[in-house]
Amino acid sequence: MEWTIQELATRAGITSRTLRHYDRFGLLAPSRVGENGYRYYNPAAVARLQRILLMRQLGMGLPAIAKVLADEVDTCDGLRTHIAALEEERDRIEQQIRSVRHTLEALQAGAEPRMDVMLAGFNDRYKDEVISRWGERAFQVSNDWWHGKTIDQQQAWKQDTEDLVAAWVTAAKAGVSPTSEHAQSLAARHVQWLSQIPGTPTADGDRDRSIEMVEGLGDMYVDDPRFAGMYDDAAGATFVRDALRAYARTRM
């Protein structure tokens, strides 16, 4: 079975121009090109497009997606990873539905909704991961800290985070060395940002675990598709990792 480029674009909810761009970028070539110049796509190509679209939804840039696909040995392993991520997202959405339904039913009954139930599922996307890496206390304390902020405070925090990420991306694109004074000042700023989150080793002043955490986060920025695209592309994430690693080993 094959689809033309127009059929595939329609079914995928994208444009033919996007598919041609993916081809030029080396992400998705047509399965074959007919004598009439038409592009045709078989099930293997559609499966590859499915993965590209999933990674795009995770916020990854095309260079980062290309690296993931190029480094991948087994397509089935990649699909299993995506299934796990989608199931995690499904569980989070189901929790949000339960939270909103609780609020609605309480209000309709003239009762006061439970505040902890109302917010369950909205800010604990990485709960299991945080607990596995740094323990239950780290999650609970940081989660309580976040929910204790006003909306304005949460927005200010998010803006500070976006400003830090933008500064990293600018430095990476400028070709700055990870060990340069500029990169190390960004690493110091990053660690200071982490130290503001209660429950983290940096906030607790635990030097050994802080170094482990900073290096672990750097590795995660590169290895985890959810974070790799955060710094624009794989090269940007690698720059951040290398700068954080150098800072952790020489200045912490």
Q: Could you give the CA distance from residue 224 to residue 9 in angstroms, rounded to a whole number?
A: 28
What percentage of the chain reaches a pLDDT higher than 70?
87
Distances (CA, A) of 230 to 46, 62, 218, 238: 26, 12, 12, 11
Helix and strand numbers, DSSP H then E, in the chain? 14, 3
Model pTM? 0.52
Per-residue model confidence as pLDDT tens digits over 135-186: 677 677 877 787 677 767 877 888 898 899 999 999 999 999 999 999 999 9
3-state DSSP assignment of residue 32:
strand
pLDDT along the chain (252 residues), means of 10: 91 89 93 92 90 80 83 75 76 76 78 62 58 68 75 80 92 96 97 89 86 89 74 89 95 90
Rounded distance between C-alpha atoms, residue 49 and residue 121, angstroms = 30
What residues are paired with 3 via a beta bridge? 41
Rounded to an integer, what distance in angstroms lies between the CA atom of residue 98 and that of residue 93?
Answer: 9
Closest CA to 55 of 216, 233, 241: 233
